[in-house]
Amino acid sequence: MRVIIVGAGLVGTQLAKYLVQEKHDVSLIESNEERARHASNRLDCLVLHDGGNSLSALEEAGLDKADALVCVTDSDEVNMIICGLAASRQPGLLKIARVRNDDYVRLNKQGPRILGIDYFVHPDVEAARTVLDAVEHGAMGEILSFANTSYELGSIDIAKNSAFDGLALRDFRSLVKAESLVTLLERGGESILPSGSTTLTQKDRMYILAKEEDMSGIFALAGRPEKPLRKIGIVGGGRIGSLIAEGLLKDSGEGKNLPPVFSFFKAFIPKSLRRVIMIEKDYSLCKELAARFPDALVLNEDISDESFVSEERIDDLDLIITATANQELNMIAALYLKSRGVQRAIAIVTGQGYTAIARKLGVDVVLPRQSVVVDSILSHLMGEGIKGVHRIGDGSVDIIEIEISRNAAVLDTPLTQFHLSQGGLVMLVQRGEESFIPRGDYTFTEKDHIILIAKMGSEADLERLFGPSS
């Protein structure tokens, strides 16, 4: 695939790095000279120091032969104009724009495509969705849900002296009776696809596939029992914090009169009545929040003020979500409040670099917001039949959702003959209304929706196996 990326910020460079590693032809356009030079030194692709809204720059980047255009500059309007400019020359080009304006997304969903743009990616909505998924599951670890199936992929650190500490995976089913599968382990900075001889140890981060109703029991065996989250604090009243608050309050007794943020935003139904406290140091923003969320307690305070934490009894929260624009403050505030007695903490960081650090320091759920945006873009970029891509761990492992077409080369092949050169595992199959973890006698069948885990660099294998037969 030939992809043009406009914007060499964190999202643009992450996306370009992934695509280059998967052997795609990538051109990157960046108007800032320092960013362009930095990207050129780090990435093995064509980097142009020019404005993306320049037709000559797009042509130099290979517009005539490109398959997709991704615009991720800092300006919504610039991203949209570039897509429109490209559409005037290449109407069949796949066009993706990152935007933060709610109206653009809403209009594109309700009527004809704006400027021919195929997909809008809203970073704040993507981040808020991920946080709400974690809250819905007790904020015990990251949770990845799959559409139209009762199974989820949960990740959690194994606690010392828990039931899993020292357990060989060959004995896993004797302890866990529910249908489940350990799909990945993170150990000492390395991502491991486990086998029956693998032994779980404390501080391993385990990724396990199981049904939603069984996940809390499995997490309890790992030493992390579920606790009710009735009092939730949100630090930061900006876009992400507001979206999280709306997701927590709407459709509940506290927020039935609040308008939904978007028609496609996941409805969040709390397990029990919850109290939401919002902490924001900007006074004018606090006034807006108080008017928008009348049933939430809005505090105009600085979370770094130790006296405020004691006076307002913030340390008795069940969960703290740190969602300011400062990732260092998010990490420090989450860790400080946990040290004061807050049971669970979710921290939003910028990229993957801080994720491992925050987890090791004790933050329960760490959300790298730029990685969430990249995953959303990749899900739109992948080839025919691939419905979703989610990078996990250190970013070197992908969860890929694929629908098997009638022309797939893998059709009628038994699972025992399925091999990826970089390593991989088919972990879930959805066939009609039924979802199941496949065994060795499973045979790939047309219209099966499969979810597999694969090491980075497996895309060529996936295209060969699941692409049209030659």
Which DSSP string do the residues of 328-375 spell out, in sequence order?
A: HHHHHHHHHHHHTT-SEEEEEESSGGGHHHHHHHT-SEEEEHHHHHHH
DSSP class of 288:
H
Helix axes 123-136, 369-381, angle to 10 degrees: 110
Give the Cα separation of 189 and 356 in Å (integer).
8
Contact (CB, 8 A) for 23 and 1:
no
Domain with CATH 3.40.50.720 in the chain: 2-121, 127-134+228-369
CA 139/CA 279 separation, integer angstroms: 19
Q: Quick one: which of 9, 11, 18, 10 has its CA closest to 1?
A: 18
Q: Which CATH class is domain 127-134+228-369?
A: alpha beta
Residue 1 exposed, middle or buried by CB count within 10 Å (0-12, 13-18, 19+): middle
Beta strands 25-30 and 2-6: pairing type?
parallel
Residue at token pair 């629908």: 403
- Tracing tokens 């070197």 back to the chain, one arrives at 396
pLDDT tens, the chain, 470 aa long: 899 999 999 899 999 998 998 889 999 999 999 999 999 999 999 999 998 888 899 999 999 999 999 999 999 999 999 999 999 899 889 999 999 887 777 776 655 677 788 889 988 888 898 898 888 877 877 788 877 788 989 888 898 999 999 999 999 999 999 999 999 998 887 888 888 899 999 988 899 999 988 988 998 899 888 778 889 999 999 999 999 998 888 754 343 343 344 433 344 444 446 789 999 999 999 999 999 999 899 999 988 887 787 777 777 889 999 999 999 999 999 999 998 889 899 999 987 777 878 888 889 899 888 888 888 898 888 765 677 788 876 667 888 888 888 888 888 889 888 888 777 889 999 988 889 999 888 999 988 999 999 887 777 788 778 866 54
Phi then psi for residue 313, to 5 deg, are: 55, 40
CATH code of the region 2-121: 3.40.50.720
Residue 455 has phi, psi (to 5 degrees) of -75, 150
Assigned token pair, 451: 């979810």
What is the assigned CATH class of domain 382-466? alpha beta
How far is Cα 320 from Cα 307, in angstroms, rounded to an integer?
17
The tokens for 288 are 């807006």
Sole residue written with tokens 């895309």: 459
Q: What is the value of pTM for the model shown? A: 0.79
Per DSSP, what are the bridge partners of residue 191? Answer: 186
Cβ distance 465 to 408 under 8 Å?
yes
Q: Give the separation between CA 370 and CA 98, rounded to whole angstroms.
A: 11
Tokens representing residue 78 in the block: 């610039």
Contact 154, 214 (CB under 8 A): no
* In the chain, ranges of CATH 3.30.70.1450 domains: 141-221, 382-466
Strand partners, 134: none
CATH superfamily of 141-221: Regulator of K+ conductance, C-terminal domain (3.30.70.1450)
